[in-house]
Each structure stands twice: as C-alpha cells, then as structure tokens.
Structure 1
C-alpha cells in the first residue's frame, strides 16, 4: 500500500509506539492526524513536525467525544484514507483482592479506549474510507489477545474482542469493499510507559512501529511482530504450553 501523500489517523499518536509511527509516516511523506489526550505531547509533535502533523485532543474513554470526533474528521481531513487504532490502556487487577466498586470506573475506561473507540472509529469512518480508491483500517492488538495473562483480564478480553471484530470487518470489506484493507497488527511486549517495570525481552517502540508500517506497505492482513510470530505455531502445537507461557507474564 502506498503511504506517500496519504492522510493517516493515528490514535495515541503522540506517545510511545504511536509517536514512532507518526515519525515514520511523516518520513514517508504522509500527513498524520495524531490523536491524544494530554496537551503537552501533542504540542511537542506540532513543534517538531509543523504542518506535516495535525493534532486532535480527544478523550477516547468518552464515547460521545469519540463519536463526535469521528463524525467531524472527514470534513476537516477529506484526504483521510488510513486509520490506525493504536491507543491503549492496561490496568492490572486481581479481582479476588480488589474492591469491585472501586475498580469499575478504571475497567470501564479501559474497555472504552481499547474496544469501544476502535469499533466507533472503524465503523464511523468506513463510509468516508469507501470513497477512496485505496484505504486501510489497522487495529493494533496484542499477543495477549491470543494467550491472556492473569494480571490484566480486561485488557486481554478487549484485545481479543478487537481481534475478532477486525477479522469480521475484514470479511465484510473483502465482500463489499475490497479496496479497503482491514489489518490486525499483533504486538509482543513493547517497552512503553504502559509496561514500565514489567516483563523482560521487550522490543522498542521504534521496532514495533517499523514492523507495523512495513506490514501495511506489504499489504499484510495480519502482522505478527517479534515474539508474537511464535504464538500461532505454539498454539497449534500445544495450547496448554502456550497458555502456561504467558499466564504470569
């Protein structure tokens, strides 16, 4: 897929993997619409890239704000042809020790960012993307969508749901709008703020971003990155071993 000259939406585009994707896309000659919530990182992007990047402050945990943003975006950026749903949050939660009432707001926000916003933007922007001769929706998932870990049940569930949603949407586009690619990018453990102090063998945000962009350009329907490439083989060989491997990750 040709990204030079394209307008690309990147949620979470001012931090971590999203910021690295913004950098790579600008380097390829794309215009990036970077979504974030914190004003500081968004301002830093504008300072670094000038008019090659447009920034949008959106709270992706607020469904009404997400819907309004998706409705208004095509009017502000009619050239938009690629949507990368990258933003994500992860809460560690032990349901046996946590207070259920206290935990609910954070867990609902986690679902809103990781699942509801992905579905809202993907489906809400689909009519606009259909008007382009070549378009793509790229949903960033995780190896934890395939093999969950004990400490982040809601994150794993949301990523698994996004993975299933992405496949079903791909089927619909293959049948009714084959010029729209629908891509699932499956990440391993990446060294970001979200994973700080946890896990070993992480890849860098730059490595993750490069693999995603390379996969888009090569028209890959599924992009398995780093150690996540091993998961389909491991789960076919021995699901029990696969589940055990990441259970306490």
Structure 2
C-alpha cells in the first residue's frame, strides 16, 4: 500500500491489540471479542489482580500489565513491554475512565476535577502517544473512548463531560494526523452502558435516579457492556472514524447537536427539576 493511500479493512486475526481499563466492563468485554476474532490482546488496568485474572481466562494470546494511565512513565513502559512480548502493536484502545461524585463546579474540589481529567483525558494521551510510532509502522488503528456525554451539558458531573469532549477533539486530530501514513483513528461514543460505574452513578441513590430521569427516551436506553464492545470491535475492523452505541437517538443528537444544544441549554436553565437537582447536589456536598 502506498503511504498516504486510504487503508482498507483491518482484519484483527493475527494482530495485536492493547486495551486500557480491561479488568472489567467494556474493556474486558472488548478483549474477549477481539481475542475470539483471532487477535492477541494486551489487557491493561490499574487493578493488577483483576486484569491478571481476565488475561488468564483468555489464555496464552493474552498478556496482562498493571498500570495507572495517569502515570505517564508507567504507561510508556506498558507499551514497550507489550511490543517486546508480541513483537508488534496494531490496535490501541484508550478505554480507561472514571466518573466524579456528583457536584457542581461551585462545590467541586480541585483534586476531584484533576483526577477525572488526569485519567479520562490526559490518560488517553499518555496511552496513545508512546504507541503511535508502532501504529504507524503497522498501519494500524487507534480508538479513543469518548462518550455521548460529550454532546450534553454536564450539570452535577461537568468534569466527566469536559474530559470526554476533550477526548473527542484528541481523536479527531489524531485521525487527520495519522492519515498521511496509512494509519487510522476513531472515536467511540457510548450512551448509558450497564457497568458498575453506571450503577454507582445512576442507580445508587435518589440523586442518581433523578439525573437518569432527566434523559428522555431513547436517550435513556441502556445497553450491555458486550453490546458496547462489539460496536468498538466492528468499528476497528471498518477503521470507522466514529462509532455510537446505542445508535438510536444518539446518532441524530450527534448530527444535530449544534442546533439541539442551543435549545437544550435554554430549556435546562428554566427547568424546575434541574433547579431542584442542582440545589440537592450542592446541599449534599456541603453536609
């Protein structure tokens, strides 16, 4: 293939894929899917025991490496160790992420803001940057995990939305910058996925349920982590610039968000339910 030519599909059979946040949830499910399709997988997570168990369940074509994506040198070593072990690196999925406890920007502690940005946004850069020479050499593909939350205002959870909007811009830049070299990048957007993080955020108490109730159907539709993982795996093989799961509702929102958000922001600032929620969040934080 000529350098700069549009690359074709990426068959993951026989390729090497690295996934962060792979001890559980979407990352774990994605490792299972790619492994089943013939890829060797590198599972990375801050939970060393959890990621080791996940890799052991897959067998010899799986390698576990424990690291915090917020630790730039540690994740650089992970990339080196992965290439040393398997000899190449074709796919990287920067999936690791966290959500903050509900708080408004007025009541949010700086350290809580920093933690979300350090993991969700800077952690994506830390993961992708040392892998890019290998991705270019292999004419491979990078996936950065954003969120449909990047489309929406982040009341009571702004650091998460801010971080995911930043990841979206990182992914867009990366796709353009890799294109002269026959490599590709894509952005994965998810709505509400049934994971432990979702249950802790939306199902754990009355405030979480109130946040969930503000989303109308079909935006409040939930999918499983396996469904989310399959959308990413299929996107990797298509070298898709973006994947959205669930597509119903969120795809239209993504396409029309310039107009929708102008209306939505106005409505939310006038919504008595939103006012009550914000006051309840601030009251809880200050107790």
- Shift of residue 5, structure 1, vs aligned partner: 0.9
Structure 1 SS opposite 2:222: coil
Q: 1:126 aligns with which of 127, 132, 144?
A: 132
Counterpart check, 1:59 vs 2:68: yes
Aligned pair partner of 2:142 in 134, 137, 142: 137
**1:153-232 matched pairs, under 5 angstroms:** 153-174=158-179, 176-177=180-181, 179-196=182-199, 197=203, 198=208, 199=212, 200-226=220-246, 227-232=249-254
Distance 1:126 1:53, change over 3 A: same
Structure 1 residue ranges, 4+ long, deviating more than 3 angstroms after superposition? 70-73, 241-249
**Within the alignment, does 1:96 sit opposite 2:102 as a pair?**
no
Match of 1:112 among 110, 113, 118: 118
**Per-residue Cα deviation, 1:179-216 (whole angstroms, up to 9, x for no partner):** 21110111111111111114342211011111111122
Q: Is the 8 A contact 1:148 1:246 kept in 2?
A: no
Q: How far off is 1:243 after superposition?
A: 4.4
Task: Tell me how many residue pairs correspond in the alignment.
Answer: 242
Quote the offset at 1:168 in angstroms.
1.1
Equivalent positions of 1:40-55 (< 5 A) are 40-55=49-64
Runs of at least 5 residues in structure 1 that lack an aligned partner in the other structure: none
Q: Return closer, same or farther for 1:192/1:130 CA change in 2, 3 Å cut-off.
A: same
Q: Which residue of 2 aligns with 1:19?
A: 28
In the superposition, relative to structure 1, how do residues 123 and 40 fare at CA in structure 2: closer, same or farther (>3 Å)? closer
Q: TM-score, normalised by structure 2?
A: 0.77
> Larger deviation: 233-242 or 154-163?
233-242
Give RMSD over aligned pairs: 2.2
The match for 1:239 is 261
Query: What is the distance in 2 between the residues matched to 1:246 and 1:74?
Result: 48
Kept in 2, the 8 Å contact 1:147–1:246? The answer is no
User: How much does 1:244 deviate?
Assistant: 6.6
Shift of 1:27: 0.7
Q: Secondary structure at the match of 2:141?
A: strand
Give, in angstroms, the shift of residue 147 of structure 1. Answer: 1.7
Structure 2: distance between partners of 1:61 and 1:82: 20
Match of 2:48 in 1: 39
CA distance in 1, matches of 2:161, 2:169: 12
Q: TM-score, normalised by structure 1?
A: 0.88
Query: 1:77-133 CA deviation, whole Å, 9 max, x = no partner?
Result: 3221100011111103223334xxxx233322211111112112222211111211x
Deviation at 1:57, TM superposition (A): 0.3
